[in-house]
Amino acid sequence: PGIVAADGTLDRAAVAARVFGDPDELAALNAIVHPAVGAEMARRRAAWADTDAIVVLDIPLLVRSDDEPLRDEYRDLAGIVVVDVDPEIAVERLVRFRGFDPDGARARIARQASRAARLAVADFVIDNGGDLEQLEREVERCWAWMRRRRDELAAARDAPDTGEAAAGE
């Protein structure tokens, strides 16, 4: 009750107010959402598994908490990109663009994994602390890295097996 807008869509602000203020509500929501999202992502990853396509998964909660650095279902990703921003810039943006009050924005950020925990799992970091032009340059750098990473993985996969690993065992 109270989370459906008049037009029948989900009132995201009402959901956020409800779950981010109550750990039990947040756990209940995560128990509903995460298995379904995980299953769909696994299905989509499987569909592209035997290709050289670059597949990007947008995973907001890749790192659940500082105590659980990387969720098990993501340990086999070919690379992890983390978009990083100073927490105070994140607060400012949540206030300006999403209508949060500053304390609510800080509370939401505080419930997430720390910046250090997110950066610890990153293979590549996009700095989102500047303006849009700077972000576009960062994304271009990331895309170049993704293409190099794909090519490295393809070369390793396609390399002839020399048997050296078996001989050394």
Q: What is the pTM of this model?
A: 0.78
In the listed set 35, 50, 65, which residue is the last one of a domain according to the structure?
Answer: 50
Q: What is the pLDDT of residue 44?
A: 86
Work out how many domains the chain is built from and give that number: 2
The answer to whether residues 26 and 9 belong to one domain is yes
The answer to whether residues 153 and 137 belong to one domain is yes
Question: Six-digit token pair at 71?
Answer: 């969720």
SS3 percent helix, strand, coil of the chain, rounded to 5, is 55, 5, 40
93, part of any domain: yes
The answer to whether residues 57 and 22 belong to one domain is no
Question: What CATH code is carried by the domain that includes residue 145?
Answer: 3.40.50.300
Q: What is the pLDDT of residue 1?
A: 64
Q: What is the pLDDT of residue 169?
A: 52
Domain range for 101 is 52-159
Strands 124-127 and 81-84: parallel
CA-only gyration radius of the chain, Å? 20
Q: What is the pLDDT of residue 77?
A: 85
Q: What is the pLDDT of residue 15?
A: 85
130, part of any domain: yes
For residue 77, count other CB atoms closer than 10 A to its CB. 16
**Tens-binned pLDDT, residue by residue, of the chain (169 aa):** 688 888 989 888 788 888 877 889 888 988 888 888 888 888 988 898 888 889 888 887 788 766 766 667 777 788 999 999 999 999 999 999 988 899 989 988 988 889 999 999 999 999 999 999 999 999 999 999 999 999 998 898 888 877 665 555 5
Q: What is the pLDDT of residue 58?
A: 87
